[in-house]
Amino acid sequence: MDGTVSTAYLLEVGDLRTQFRTDDGVVHAVNGVSFSIDEGETLGIVGESGCGKSVTALSILRLIPEPPGQIVSGKVLFQGRDLLSAGNQEMCEVRGNKIGMVFQDPMTFLNPVLTIGRQVAEAVEVHLGLDPKSARKRAIELLRMVGIPEAEERVDDYPHAFSGGMRQRAMIAMALSCSPLLLIADEPTTALDVTIQAQIIDLVQQLRREIGLAIIWITHDLGIIAGLADRVLVMYAGYVVESAQVKDLYRDPRHPYTLGLLASIPRLDENQGNALTPIDGTPPDLINMPTGCPFHPRCSYATGRCAQTMPEMRKVAEEHMVACWVDVPQASVVMVQEAELEWARRPA
């Protein structure tokens, strides 16, 4: 793969922009997303439906359908190599082998006419070169590892014979079949009841400890992220609006949108029983984006400046960044020198 770059991160995403061309106009799905993840780290990406979380994940693996989609610009460095400039064959070697992905709805991605064992074994045959007998043995080991009971018998079952939780476990087994360095989990517990959700989360945490893989966990549920992630990115309308260590985000949220998400979580502490506070308004139209900060039409802290210019990410504490003109705790406008803004926007 061309374009090897020295980097200290397992994955580094820089200024990623992805769009979709439709009859109604261009959908600006991902708008300059940047983040990195170290080996063995868990990164949570949270936000409302349609904020660009899943499109970001699909862009990393180059799974955006073209057309109508297009990765317009940016970089995706995996182990220092640029995936956006890699050929199709090179990407096939990365997908499932170096980077595994668990999708939101397993019935959409599991083939209904192939057994679970055949689908799990296929990846190790392709990437690891195992013969069918060895691949089947590996599939049984993986199903057992993810907690499928009687794996030797269930390996020949079809997806419809598995419960929702078991299908999701099978998807995790497929994603881990080649011992990837990074697992991307796109809302893997959304369609499951809370008991099965807890089991899947416990399973992923156990596998992280045993295998040491890095994880990107995508969800709209900040409650799940609290006990799972090391760091959190909050996305809104295709932008990253806040980035922090998970404890810092919950202790000291600095973006109005993050405050709104946290206020919508049911509480189990002394504040339990208080009414949940919804975020007023609706997410913006990604074809006709508002000027300035896309959250300003719904924001109670918004000033005139918020409607004019999109704020740059700025540091508010160690490893804590926020894209907001307002210092939320004091509700006072942050004065940033125009010269500094121009310097930050200079061409690379």
Containing 91, the helix (H) or strand (E) segment is helix 88-94
**pLDDT tens track for 270-324:** 555 566 677 888 889 999 998 999 999 999 888 889 999 999 999 988 899 999 9
d(Cα 75, Cα 81) in Å, to the nearest integer? 10
Listed residue (291, 253, 90) closest to 225, CA to CA: 253
DSSP reduced 3-state for 269 = coil
What's the pLDDT score for residue 274? 61
Say which range, 155-159, 174-178, 302-306, has the weakest mean pLDDT: 174-178
The predicted structure's pLDDT at residue 74 = 94
The pLDDT score that the predictor gives to residue 82 is: 92
pLDDT higher at 330 or 64: 64
Q: What is the percentage of the chain residues whose pLDDT exceeds 70?
A: 88
pLDDT at 201 > cutoff 70: yes
* Nearest Cα to Cα of residue 229 among 241, 239, 215, 242: 215
The tens digit of pLDDT for each residue in 67-84 reads 899 999 999 999 989 999
The pLDDT confidence band at residue 3, using thresholds 50, 70 and 90, is very low
Q: Which helix (H) or strand (E) holds 245?
A: strand 239-245
pTM, whole model, 2 decimals?
0.84
How many Å apart are CA 86 and CA 303, to the nearest integer? 44
| Average pLDDT of the chain, as a whole number | 84
CA distance 4 to 196: 41
What would the pLDDT profile of 91-104 be if each residue is shown by its tens digit?
A: 988 888 889 888 87
